[in-house]
Structure 1
Amino acid sequence: MAINIKSQWELERMAETGRLHTEIFALLEAHIRPGVSTYELDQIVLEAIHAKGGQAPQIGYRAGGNVPFPSATCMSVDDVVVHGLPSKKPLQEGQLLKVDFLFTYQGFTTDMARTYAIGKVSPEAERLMQVTEEAFWVGLEYLKPGNRLGDVAHAVQEFVEKKHGLWIVREMSGHGVGRELHEDPSVLNYGEPGKGAKLRPGMTLAFEPMVTLFPTNLVILSDGWTATAGRGNLAAHYENTVAVTEEGPRLLTGSPRFAPGVLAR
C-alpha cells in the first residue's frame, strides 16, 4: 500500500478544489424536486464544473475492465446505493436521491456525496438519511493522527448497526483521493479497532458511510455499474473529502456542523 502524503501546499490546492466542489452541490440543490430527471441534474452539474474551470473525471472512467462510465455524476435512486446512471425518467415524490461525483481542478480531485429527499418522504427514509449523515460525523472524530482506520470503521459500524439497527454496506468503501481519483488506502465503514493503516498528517481521504434499511448483499446490474441493495430496500450515502492534520480532521468539502445536534448539509 502506497499512501500519498500531501504537503501543506497540496492541501491548500485541494481545499480550493473542495470549496468549488461544495459550491456546485449548493447550486444543484436548488434544482432537486419532483418532476426533474437525473439526466437534467447531471447536465446542470457538468455545466457548473466547466463554468468553474474544472473537469468531470468520472466521464470515461473504467474500473476493473468495466465499460467506461458515461456521465459526470452518479445519480442513485431509492435502493441503488452508488454508481447509478443518470436517466430521463422524472423523479417522483417520496424517492431518495443520492448524488455523488468527483471534481478535478488544476490537477487535484475531491469527492463528495449527499442524499436528498424528493418532496416528502417516509419516516423510515428520513431516519435513514439522518443516521447516515450522523455516522459521518461520528467517524470523523476518529480521523486523527495516531488512530487507525479500523478505529474509524468500528465507530461507524457500532453507531449504525448496534445503536440504530440499520446496515453498513460491505461491498463499497471510501478511499484516498487527491492527485488521483482513487488512491490508497481503502476506507471501510466496518471493522475492528486497532486494525488498518495508521492515520498520518497529510493523508486525504474520501470518507463515505453508505447505509441501507435492511441487511443485504449488493447486486451490480447489467449496465456494469448500478449497485442495488434490492427491491424494497432503501440506501443513503454521505461523503466528504477529509484531510488528516496535526490539529485533527479538516473538511475539504462540505461545511462543519454549526451547533450541537444540527447536521450540516
Structure 2
Amino acid sequence: MFSRERGLEIKTPGQIDQMRVAGLLVGETLDLLRQAVEPGMTTGDLDRLAESNIRDHGGIPSFKGYGVPPFPATICASVNDEVVHGIPGDRVLEDGDVVSIDCGAIVDGWHGDAAITVAVGEVKPEVLELMRVTEEALWRGMAAAHLGGRVSDIGHAIERYVRSQGAYGILEDYTGHGIGTEMHMPPNVPNYGKRGKGPTLVEGLALAVEPMVTLGSKHTDVLEDEWTVATVDGSYAAHFEHTFTLTPQGAWVLTAVDGGAARLAELGVPYGGR
C-alpha cells in the first residue's frame, strides 16, 4: 500500500472505490449545506445538519475530535475574513456574508474531504469574483495533473490562474494534502510554486487540493480558539477543496457528486471515474 517515494499511501483500484463512497457522502453533504445557507441561520445549524446527514448515511465525521485541542464540530465554518478552521456555533449568518464550509467523512476507514464557499444573500461583486476565481483555480489545478507528472504541477496551475485574474493573496502556510486511511497524509500540495517538483503523480495516489485565496494579504493569524485562521488585514477569503485521484483513463474527483465529469470535460481533461 505504501510507495517507496516519501511514504506515500498508494491505493488499489478497489480501495479507491471505497474512497469514492466516502467522497460522495461528503459531496452530497456539502450540496445539502449549500442549499440550506440563508440569512438568520447559525453556523451551528449547519454543523448539526452536516453531522446528521453523515451519520444517517453510515459515515463518521472526520473532523470531530481531531487535533489538539480536539476540534469540537463536524464541519469548519469560516465567515468572511476567516479563511479556514472556523468553529461552528452561535454566530448568525447575515446578508452579505460568505461562509466557507469544510467537511470530511469516514466510511469503512476511508476519508473524503472537500470544501465550498457559499454566499449568504446579496454579496458584493468583488467577493463573488473572489469565489469564482478560487473555485476555478481548484479545477485548473486538478486539470494540470496527469500520471507521470509531479505534485507541484497542481500548485503551479493554481497560482498561475489566480495571478492572471488580479491582485489576490494566496495562502502559503496552509496546503492541500494526501488522503486515504487518514485525513492528512503526505504529500503536501501547496497552492503555488514551479512545475516539475515533488513526488510523482501515480495511479492510486489520492490528493485533497484546496486553494485558499483572499482579497488582500496572504498573511493570517490563528485566533484565541486555537483553530480559526483569519486574514491579518480583515480581507474576505474563499476556500474550495476536492479530493481527487488519477486513473489510466483520466482524473476522478471523488468528492464531486458527478465525479467531476462535467467540469473536467469543459477543461478538456479525460474523465477517469468508474
For 1:211, the aligned partner's letter is V
Structure 2 CA distance, aligned partners of 1:231 and 1:77? 15
Structure 1: 5+ residue stretches without partners: none
For the 8 Å contact 1:187–1:207, the answer to whether it is kept is yes
**What is residue 29 of structure 1 aligned with on the other side?**
34
For the 8 Å contact 2:133–2:165, the answer to whether it is kept is no
Cα deviation per residue 1:241-265 (whole Å; 9 max; x = unaligned)? 101222222110114335749xxxx
For the 8 Å contact 2:217–2:233, the answer to whether it is kept is no
**What is residue 78 of structure 2 aligned with on the other side?**
76
For 1:56, the aligned partner's letter is P
| Secondary structure at the counterpart of residue 60 of structure 2 | coil
Structure 1 segment 91-130 matched on structure 2, within 5 A: 91-130=93-132
For the 8 Å contact 1:131–1:164, the answer to whether it is kept is no
Cα deviation per residue 1:33-82 (whole Å; 9 max; x = unaligned)? 000000011011011111011101211111xxx31111111000001110
For 2:66, the aligned partner's letter is Y
**What is residue 3 of structure 2 aligned with on the other side?**
none
Which of the numbers 49, 55, 61 marks the counterpart of 1:56?
Answer: 61
| Secondary structure at the counterpart of residue 127 of structure 2 | helix
Which deviates the most, 233-242 or 223-232? Answer: 223-232
Which deviates the most, 202-211 or 248-257? Answer: 248-257
| Secondary structure at the counterpart of residue 30 of structure 1 | helix
Cα deviation per residue 1:160-217 (whole Å; 9 max; x = unaligned)? 1244321211111010111111111001101111111111111001111111111231
| Secondary structure at the counterpart of residue 103 of structure 1 | strand
**What is residue 185 of structure 2 aligned with on the other side?**
183
**What is residue 160 of structure 1 aligned with on the other side?**
162
**What is residue 50 of structure 2 aligned with on the other side?**
45
2:21 is the alignment partner of 1:16: yes
For 2:15, the aligned partner's letter is E
State the identity %: 38
Q: Stretches of 4+ moved more than 6 A in 1?
A: none
| Secondary structure at the counterpart of residue 36 of structure 2 | coil
**What is residue 194 of structure 1 aligned with on the other side?**
196
Which deviates the most, 11-20 or 1-10? Answer: 11-20
**What is residue 139 of structure 2 aligned with on the other side?**
137
In the TM superposition, residue 231 of structure 1 has moved relative to its aligned partner by 4.7
| Secondary structure at the counterpart of residue 118 of structure 2 | strand
Which of the numbers 153, 174, 192 marks the counterpart of 1:172?
Answer: 174
Give the CA RMSD over aligned residues.
1.4
| Secondary structure at the counterpart of residue 47 of structure 1 | helix
**What is residue 213 of structure 1 aligned with on the other side?**
215
**What is residue 204 of structure 1 aligned with on the other side?**
206
| Secondary structure at the counterpart of residue 251 of structure 2 | strand
Structure 2 CA distance, aligned partners of 1:232 and 1:174? 23
In the TM superposition, residue 18 of structure 1 has moved relative to its aligned partner by 1.3
Which of the numbers 6, 15, 19 marks the counterpart of 2:11?
Answer: 6
Q: Using a 3 Å threshold, how does the CA distance of structure 1 residues 162 and 26 change in structure 2: closer, same or farther?
A: closer
For the 8 Å contact 1:160–1:166, the answer to whether it is kept is yes
Structure 2 CA distance, aligned partners of 1:231 and 1:193? 30
For the 8 Å contact 2:158–2:192, the answer to whether it is kept is yes
For the 8 Å contact 1:176–1:183, the answer to whether it is kept is yes
Structure 2 CA distance, aligned partners of 1:153 and 1:121? 28
Structure 2 CA distance, aligned partners of 1:24 and 1:173? 23
Structure 2: 5+ residue stretches without partners: 1-5, 268-274
